[in-house]
Structure 1
């Protein structure tokens, strides 16, 4: 498309992830007939990110398996997808976006689905390996068979999943993190320690309560880390210390931004003709307050909600957050939203590896997690927000549907 061409107004979606794909899909399913354009900086059609740190690294899936829709789907549904291109400016008064190559596109409604980028270590210009995009995962997958020592900075979901994938393929793996246990800020000390023991059992070395204080560099590459526990050398170093929402476009356009693009419960920003969805959206939840959620399920659901808002169907952000993980022989699903300080109640035998966890606040179930027990997550979702006696939650002889 040349800089002189101007498309008919319709919906323009900035970003190429699952939120973007589901916005387009839902718009067409609801009968939206005007043009839809997706603009993505990535060269790959919108895809699911969870396999990047799990099945793809293990060689069990290819990137094509994670693509939300193939090119034929977009063509058949009259959705224009512009890959490898960046939006540089939003002109709210003119209702246009400008691309890096100079193309100007008008919009009736703009959807910001710009996602997030990996947080990196400060105070160094050396290249840092992170895992966010296809090319990152492809590079890590190519390096794992070479073996050697991998050091992962960060004991969150990405760090632990990559540790599991690399260790299962023979790499020596060390995880460095400042917290007392992995996932402590999310799940509390007891459940965090269970994940720690899982990794130790499979040969991962955990250096907890350890801070990175600097990097060891050679020829612009990080060869090791200076830490509060001493220097650490490695053949491969992955930085997995969280993500930063991509809010620059929104900020430059004068939209309200606070840990993401601020939206109401319908995903409308401070400009009613601009919506935000997915990792970048700090949205008002009807019961949980303001949330910015970086999970696969939320990107799908918010993409659908953005389309519903455009079509005026009246839905709002009211679902409980959901995510899952697979690490070694542990698979789990989590639903809800709880503070790590919440009371923890366990049903089943943690040592046996099959159990359910509930997080309670003032006796009310705020979140639940099923570990290696399947087809119960919908039952757990139904318990969120209810006040349930602890003895009933702990008792596996009482069916979840009877609580």
Structure 2
């Protein structure tokens, strides 16, 4: 078994293969010359302090699992006729089954002088520049951009966020949830500019905005999404999804070649609730690793896990289960402590999403129960869903006792 990509998905997959009973050789290929590490802390704990990136599993664990780890070498081609992976240094690695967990790269802007955050090296280089008093311009008001803004603010920087859309987190959460996040950034002193684009970055970090204004910045960093790494698959003639822009796989995460699977940020896949989607999320990478590893060993299991996302900014914890933009109506549950959970329902009443923001762990339990309700294909009564005196556990019990439609 050969796995390309040593991020969350690829590194988890090699251990899942062992847990599933595979005793043959496993090779893990990573383009970065470091051991597998978690990416979520890069925009948070790694930027705000002196923390090192957290390993997915350390070198000892890889050795104990008898995994050959090839680091610092990119895969350049797949010889499908001979079932061999070709590395950039000319080496060829034979495979019985191949898993592509190549992830995604930061979307680049046609602007000079902009930094990006995707890798350990990016985070460490950026951290050195986020000194107290530094003027930081963040392009993009999505999860990464806002986590960058919060971390830079915590380091004593003066931060401006520039977002082209009318509001922050425009494609990720309901407007009311985004408003809570925006207010918290403004309370922290961040200058939030929505409905504003960046026309150019002049010499010495001067941001020229589409409004005609200019911002003097010591650091300019962009968080404007990611582009799936599909070149290896495309060059090998595998099917590529031209809409979601990922390696196209079926619900078993199998590509158009039955011996090659793809998982994580690099692939688009069919979901029973949301249709064909591509996700950029830690949880999805982890869940895909489990499904892919089992199916590499012919388990023939469909991937049906409910998407889940989180973001920590200041003292706020934002969590989303499902996909809010799939819903056609909304139900709001407001607890006595003021925390709101916004549930999204489909046209037939099926629960499709839940989003909430609060301090500490205030929202974790409700969103976790909502995730379980979504997985159960629940069609809860909207009035009961809105009533904080009706326990979500009771709705879950009712959903599990209701026969699912064929």
286-295 or 332-341: which moved more? 332-341
Equivalent position SS for 1:81: strand
Say if 1:185 and 1:340, in contact at 8 Å, map to a contact too.
no
Task: Report matched runs for 1:85-234 at 5 Å.
Answer: 85-122=73-110, 124=111, 126-217=112-203, 223-229=205-211, 230-234=213-217
Identify which of 335, 350, 357 aligns with 2:342.
357
In 1, Cα distance between equivalents of 2:338 and 2:95: 52
* 1:33 corresponds to: 23
Matched, 1:14 2:4: yes
Count of residue pairs brought into register by the alignment: 384
* Structure 1: segments with no counterpart, 5+ residues: 1-10
Go from structure 1 to structure 2 and tell me whether the alpha carbon gap of 1:185 and 1:378 turns closer, same or farther (over 3 Å shift).
closer
Deviation for aligned residue 1:127:
4.5
Deviation for aligned residue 1:148:
1.5
In 2, Cα distance between equivalents of 1:264 and 1:189: 33
Say if 1:188 and 1:341, in contact at 8 Å, map to a contact too.
no
224-233 or 267-276: which moved more? 224-233
Say if 2:327 and 2:345, in contact at 8 Å, map to a contact too.
no
Equivalent position SS for 1:88: strand
Identify which of 382, 391, 398 aligns with 2:383.
391
* 2:401 corresponds to: none
Matched, 1:24 2:14: yes
Task: Report matched runs for 1:38-57 at 5 Å.
Answer: 38-57=28-47
Deviation for aligned residue 1:375:
2.8
TM-score (norm 1): 0.91
Deviation for aligned residue 1:269:
0.3
Equivalent position SS for 2:183: helix
* Structure 2: segments with no counterpart, 5+ residues: 396-406
Deviation for aligned residue 1:196:
1.4
In 2, Cα distance between equivalents of 1:15 and 1:303: 11
184-193 or 88-97: which moved more? 184-193
Equivalent position SS for 1:57: helix
Identify which of 270, 281, 295 aligns with 1:309.
295
